[in-house]
Structure 1
Amino acid sequence: MSKADAKAQKRAKFEAVFPVLRDELLAHFAAEGMPEDAKKWYTKNLDYNVPGGKLNRGLSVVDTVEILKGRTLTEDEYFKAALLGWCVELLQAFFLVSDDMMDQSVTRRGQPCYYRLDSVNYIAINDSFMLEMAIYHLIKTHFRSESYYVNLLELFHEITYKTEMGQLIDLITAPEDHVDLSKFSLEKHKLIVIYKTAFYSFYLPVALAMYMCGIQHGPAPSSDPYELARSILIPLGEYFQVQDDFLDFAGTPEQIGKIGTDIIDNKCSWCVNTALAQATPAQRAVLDANYGRKDAAAEARIKALYEEIGVRKLYEEYEEAAYKRIMGLIETIPAQPTAKQGEVVLQRAVFKSFLDKIYKRQK
């Protein structure tokens, strides 16, 4: 089987779990005495917002459980790992529905943003809350009797809060309708990226898998496998977002599947922050005059300035340094970790699989 076929098969297996979970949520909703029109509405909310993305975050939970256990999962193990994966996708859906309203975005995943659908509008606020709470209903139903149940709850709560902190800094640093590049910096970008993206996209799926596999917290931060995982996954998430920012500028629509809009949307992107750090006073004046303008000519001037400053070469240097740094962190995990009979321990392969997926990616 080709690599592409294996990937498609893995995705299809994961996708097949979603209708089971959706029907379970709808059955509970109906059992609460909710009327038929509300049931139809909730069905539309779930179907429109949860499946259909890349599903990388959700699939990462399953992949990590398989790597940690070192074998094919039983049906029950697969279902539980996939359920936690879909909980991450529900969290993503909650963030996207609300984020699109805050940004007044037009499209998402190739279709109109949910709040823009006929009759939805501000009801999308409550719908986003329902997507979030579906996570806790599913976890309670399927993990209530597990010793790590509270760990799952605390993890979701902690990561959600951190993501919302990142969203706040992003919104007040780079509002779409007010450009003030003095608020931008590479340090601010790093903070936004770590809190808004890295925690929930990279650390959350792996930590969920670790709890499911029975990995215990260490007695001190220096010996805690969760702290070790975080110390590798947060820089990985930061590297991923910098890549995303660079591809928004340098990637073609055919390559990345969308038209880059970071410049006209006044995004606090790695590219503009790198340009700001390198710019001469004359170049800074060009940035101030043209960044974040809803104007194709202004966008073209910024892109030309990025080329003049050498953003492509600076990105290549960043990527190589990030790869070396993350590989160095991964190598702090013993190549052959010792484990007692039946014990699951952290392995390099978990992090190497993430790094291999994103190193030098083109989309």
Structure 2
Amino acid sequence: MSSSLNPEIDGHTYKRQKTDDINSSDPKVARRAKFEAVFDVIAEELLSYVKGEGMPKDAVEWYEKVLYHNTPGGKLNRGMSVVDTVEILKGRQLEEEEYKNAAILGWCVELLQAYFLVADDIMDQSVTRRGQPCWYKMPNVGNIAINDAFMLEAAIYHLLKKHFRQEKYYVDLIELFLETTFQTELGQLVDLITAPEDHVDLSKFSLEKHHLIVVYKTAYYSFYLPVALAMHMSGVEAKSAYDLALSILIPLGEYFQVQDDYLDCYGKPEHIGKIGTDILDNKCSWNVNTALKYATEEQRKILDENYGQKDSEKEAKIKALFSQEPISIPQRFEAYEKESYEKINGLIETVDEEGTGLKKEVFRSFLAKVYKRSK
């Protein structure tokens, strides 16, 4: 270990003892452990590549830390959804090689997520992520995290080339990741210019603007991407099938992000793995946009004077205001959640399983994962 690196961020500390978990009698524990075991395989492949390029020992060790600190944590819903969706579409358990390929695609989604989060935390000056310090906040990291984010993204295309270059859908995978990345970055751009932390202007906010941000910043990569990857791997080729999947998954992704906004204010930090900072950070969240829509003149004045300020007392005033009539965020969220659930179920019922090669269960399983979640 190089003396310039802090042992607290040693990648080895993030490797899990998975043998017992894979054989666990709890299906959820065994399922996650099996998926995580594939990460160790691809991490070794990536580290072997770095070594093969003649990089010094401390660079290899650093990249290992980057991979293990930022990728395997979290709920892994995006990545494991690729595996789940392939299984549903094929209608059977996957053979060993099929599982490995589906899991690699899933980990590519998780690497994309890691890339976004490392960069996003720097832009937002966040403190915690997934119950631990943000990567740039770790000892001796700082702005090196910017390059680390790029290296997390680059890993995706190395893995796709290594494992899928021979497949007829290889170019489709490349294009899907590139397009989804661009869409997500467009959403991030609109978010950043609408709600810069150092200039609060609530007149720029609206529920319509919030819709645009969350569709591009979250829904494409969190919901459409995993399903579209599984569809390619399962031999679904018709453009109409991808259009149909998109029409269901984008509203589902919007619902997920509204939940996320709500939980930032009302969720417990030990459940969501971070301290909510949307109010302090001047975020264009569903909560504040709903408050703006229903606020009285006096309440609007309180919003303008206190929202987006780096002041815990002002944050407390906004939180108190959110629960007041006629704003009533908790009640309005409950109604929104019920309406969204019914709307998405209605869209799922339109799926023609025979004509598209899709299955309703793909979308039902996604909805089940996020409905009424608390983290």
Match among 323, 343, 350 for residue 325 of structure 1? 343
**Residue number in structure 1 paired with 2:7:** none
* 1:174-185 equivalences in 2 (<5 Å): 174-185=195-206
**Residue number in structure 2 paired with 1:353:** 365
Name the stretch that deviates more: 344-353 or 115-124: 115-124
In the alignment, is the contact (CA less than 8 A) between 2:118 and 2:135 conserved in 1? Answer: yes
**CA 1:305–1:119 in structure 2 vs 1: closer, same or farther (change >3 Å)?**
closer
Match among 138, 141, 156 for residue 120 of structure 1? 141
**Residue number in structure 1 paired with 2:262:** 246
- 1 CA distance for matches of 2:367 and 2:235? 24
- 2 CA distance for matches of 1:353 and 1:96? 25
**Residue number in structure 1 paired with 2:225:** 204
CA deviation after TM superposition for structure 1 residue 174, in Å: 1.2
For residues 334-359 of structure 1, the C-alpha deviation after alignment (integer angstroms, 9 at most, x for no partner) is: 3xx327xxxx8100000001111212
**Residue number in structure 2 paired with 1:261:** 277
Question: Are 1:137 and 2:153 an aligned pair?
Answer: no
In the alignment, is the contact (CA less than 8 A) between 2:131 and 2:273 conserved in 1? Answer: no
**CA 1:252–1:97 in structure 2 vs 1: closer, same or farther (change >3 Å)?**
closer
CA deviation after TM superposition for structure 1 residue 121, in Å: 2.0
Uncovered stretches (5+) of structure 1, i.e. residues with no partner: 219-223
- 1 CA distance for matches of 2:25 and 2:208? 38
Q: Secondary structure at the match of 1:338?
A: helix
Q: Which amino acid aligns with 1:358?
A: V
Q: Which amino acid aligns with 1:355?
A: L
Match among 293, 297, 302 for residue 318 of structure 2? 302
CA deviation after TM superposition for structure 1 residue 331, in Å: 0.7
CA deviation after TM superposition for structure 1 residue 298, in Å: 1.5
- 1 CA distance for matches of 2:329 and 2:366? 25
Q: Secondary structure at the match of 2:323?
A: helix
In the alignment, is the contact (CA less than 8 A) between 2:128 and 2:275 conserved in 1? Answer: no
Name the stretch that deviates more: 314-323 or 243-252: 243-252
How many residues are matched?
350
Name the stretch that deviates more: 319-328 or 28-37: 28-37
For residues 170-227 of structure 1, the C-alpha deviation after alignment (integer angstroms, 9 at most, x for no partner) is: 1111122221111110011111101111100000000000000010123xxxxx1001
CA deviation after TM superposition for structure 1 residue 136, in Å: 0.5
Q: Secondary structure at the match of 1:293?
A: coil
**CA 1:250–1:231 in structure 2 vs 1: closer, same or farther (change >3 Å)?**
same
- 2 CA distance for matches of 1:136 and 1:19? 17
In the alignment, is the contact (CA less than 8 A) between 2:187 and 2:213 conserved in 1? Answer: yes
CA deviation after TM superposition for structure 1 residue 329, in Å: 0.8
In the alignment, is the contact (CA less than 8 A) between 2:105 and 2:229 conserved in 1? Answer: yes
- 2 CA distance for matches of 1:44 and 1:361? 30
- 1 CA distance for matches of 2:311 and 2:42? 45
Q: Which amino acid aligns with 1:331?
A: E
**Residue number in structure 2 paired with 1:284:** 300
Q: Secondary structure at the match of 1:16?
A: helix
Question: Are 1:157 and 2:178 an aligned pair?
Answer: yes
For residues 35-59 of structure 1, the C-alpha deviation after alignment (integer angstroms, 9 at most, x for no partner) is: 2222122212112211112111101
In the alignment, is the contact (CA less than 8 A) between 2:38 and 2:103 conserved in 1? Answer: yes
For residues 72-123 of structure 1, the C-alpha deviation after alignment (integer angstroms, 9 at most, x for no partner) is: 1000000000000000011111111111111122222222222223332222
**Residue number in structure 1 paired with 2:84:** 63
CA deviation after TM superposition for structure 1 residue 4, in Å: 9.2
CA deviation after TM superposition for structure 1 residue 310, in Å: 1.5
Q: Secondary structure at the match of 1:125?
A: helix
Q: Which amino acid aligns with 1:281?
A: E
Match among 187, 208, 212 for residue 166 of structure 1? 187
- Report the TM-score when normalising by structure 2: 0.90
- 2 CA distance for matches of 1:246 and 1:332? 29
- Report the TM-score when normalising by structure 1: 0.93
**Residue number in structure 1 paired with 2:249:** 233
Name the stretch that deviates more: 251-260 or 284-293: 251-260
CA deviation after TM superposition for structure 1 residue 257, in Å: 4.3
Question: Are 1:293 and 2:271 an aligned pair?
Answer: no
- 1 CA distance for matches of 2:137 and 2:314? 28
Q: Secondary structure at the match of 1:73?
A: coil
* 1:19-168 equivalences in 2 (<5 Å): 19-168=40-189
Name the stretch that deviates more: 242-251 or 80-89: 242-251
CA deviation after TM superposition for structure 1 residue 164, in Å: 0.4
- 2 CA distance for matches of 1:255 and 1:200? 23
Structure 1 runs (4+) deviating above 4 angstroms are none
The percent of aligned pairs where both chains have the same amino acid is 67
Name the stretch that deviates more: 31-40 or 279-288: 31-40
**Residue number in structure 2 paired with 1:221:** none
Q: Which amino acid aligns with 2:209?
A: K
Cα RMSD over matched residues? Answer: 1.6
